[in-house]
Structure 1
Amino acid sequence: MGKLIVVGTPIGNLEDITIRALKTLRSVDLILAEDTRRTMVLLNKYRIKKPLLSFTEKNSKRRIKEVLPLLKEGKIVALVSDAGMPVISDPGYNLIEECWKNGIEVDVVPGPSALTSAVAVSGFPGSKFIFEGFLPRGKNRRRLLRALKEEKRPIVFFESPERLISTLKDILEILGDREVFIAREMTKMHQEFFRGKVSEALEHFGKKEILGEITVILSGKR
């Protein structure tokens, strides 16, 4: 039997990769990547030449059928996402589940995480919080927010630049003008941290074009 290794990669700044992650990526037989183009940027920086195969939510079932025989033959396969720790709001859990079912060893090389990085610098309590991944759109988002109205722990979620304003408007309407922390483009050149009221965040981000990856932390009900 081979081995599947879940490898954490930088959330932005490519220098945040660990020594162990580099050693692992240099040693495996195959790398499964959410976006091969983005992973290639990382591999090229560190002069790593390994076979790359795309592994997305849409093609995961087909890829699993292709990769499982390789693992059973003794191949060592790494799983990476676009940024941060794989499987955290990224594809891959079903491959890992199949490995467990088939007696294939699974290992992990920990790396940066936008989730924990944002919590660490937010000033909100880090001992207890809930994580909602990417919020749904429209009515489903409003339904989820209503379900979270009595939640007392900080609520962490990822958001896209295109939906940040509409999400903040729904939060203001349903949950009120709570404290919010927004991390944009963490560890990158244009990193931005904002902390204030939801209404202030709407005013701040409503004045400019919003770009990059966003992590939001909303205070719980007091």
Structure 2
Amino acid sequence: MDAEQQLQRTNQSVRLYLVPTPVGNLKDFTYRSVEVLQQADVILCEDTRTSSRLLQHYGIQKPVSPYHQHNEHKIVDHLVTQMLSGKVFALITDAGTPGISDPAFLLVRACVQQQIHVECLPGATAFVPALVVSGLPTNRFVFEGFLPPKKGRHTLLSKLALEERTIILYESPMRLQKTLLELITYFGAERPCSVSREISKMFETHVRGTLQQVHDCFQQQVVKGEIVIVIGGIS
């Protein structure tokens, strides 16, 4: 697509909005996000039960439809057809920005291929505040999301162990201890690290230190909530 075609596309009406949702406090939602959801024809939700709490809080009454990793391959073409006919969709996830460790890529790619105008609103994503408060360099970083559960895990960890930039990972509370032990094995016990949990919620916490120190700290407590691990690059 050349520059002129790109310009023409930006002048089209938006048919798909990607709307970030709060990762914790519902007050983190923006005024514009509320307006977009109120004006959309359909709101696509990762989990309609989870999203209903946010929508009810802001008095948003619009048709909702599930869009998640288990059905996205099947419904992308149908959604694109509806957008081409004039319908406006807004995509939200359970928490954070669509496409960041959450479904969105397939739908956005299909829209771009059909020259459907897509717009992503600025807003919440968990790894940015975790990075900023980590005390580790923020000028250059690599975001890896969730590590592969099995296949490719060793290869990726071996590669990341040599990474000079700050590294950001997502992890579940159930797997945190196992992952920290693996990071100690691949990165060394003295590599600086920060683990953040429950960002923007009442019990938000940040544990900083070496990988060994952070591991030992979490070994003494029951871990709950979403986890962001920030690791210093190799020096």
Q: TM-score range by the shorter chain?
A: over 0.9
Deviation at 1:7, TM superposition (A): 0.7
Residue 35 (structure 1) aligns with: 47
Match of 2:173, SS state, is coil
Deviation per CA, 1:71-117, whole angstroms, max 9, x where unpaired?
11111100111111110111110100111111211112111111211
Deviation per CA, 1:35-78, whole angstroms, max 9, x where unpaired?
11111110010111111111111100122132112111111100
Deviation per CA, 1:102-159, whole angstroms, max 9, x where unpaired?
1211112111111211111111111100011101124632331111121111100100
Q: Aligned runs of 1:48-127 on 2, under 5 Å?
A: 48-127=60-139
TM-score, normalised relative to structure 1: 0.96
Deviation at 1:22, TM superposition (A): 0.6
Instruction: Judge conservation of contact 1:30–1:52 (CA < 8 Å) in 2.
Output: yes
The aligned amino acid for 1:188 is K
Unpaired stretches in structure 2, ≥5 consecutive residues: 1-12
Unpaired stretches in structure 1, ≥5 consecutive residues: none
For the pair 1:162 / 2:174, whether they are aligned, the reply is: yes
Deviation at 1:2, TM superposition (A): 6.0
CA distance in 1, matches of 2:150, 2:192: 22
Q: Aligned runs of 1:180-199 on 2, under 5 Å?
A: 180-199=193-212
CA distance in 2, matches of 1:139, 1:209: 28
CA distance in 2, matches of 1:137, 1:62: 25
| Identical positions, percent | 38
TM-score, normalised relative to structure 2: 0.91
Match of 2:128, SS state, is helix
CA distance in 1, matches of 2:214, 2:150: 20
Instruction: Judge conservation of contact 1:2–1:73 (CA < 8 Å) in 2.
Output: no
Q: Aligned runs of 1:128-207 on 2, under 5 Å?
A: 128-138=140-150, 140-177=152-189, 178-207=191-220
The aligned amino acid for 2:205 is E
Q: CA RMSD in A?
A: 1.3
Residue 15 (structure 1) aligns with: 27
Instruction: Judge conservation of contact 1:4–1:107 (CA < 8 Å) in 2.
Output: yes
Deviation per CA, 1:170-190, whole angstroms, max 9, x where unpaired?
111111021111110100111
CA distance in 1, matches of 2:141, 2:86: 40
CA distance in 2, matches of 1:99, 1:136: 28
Match of 1:130, SS state, is strand
Aligned residues: 222
| Deviant stretches of 4+, over 3 Å | none
CA distance in 2, matches of 1:40, 1:114: 21
The aligned amino acid for 1:219 is G
CA distance in 2, matches of 1:221, 1:203: 22
Instruction: Judge conservation of contact 1:142–1:170 (CA < 8 Å) in 2.
Output: no
Instruction: Judge conservation of contact 1:162–1:210 (CA < 8 Å) in 2.
Output: yes
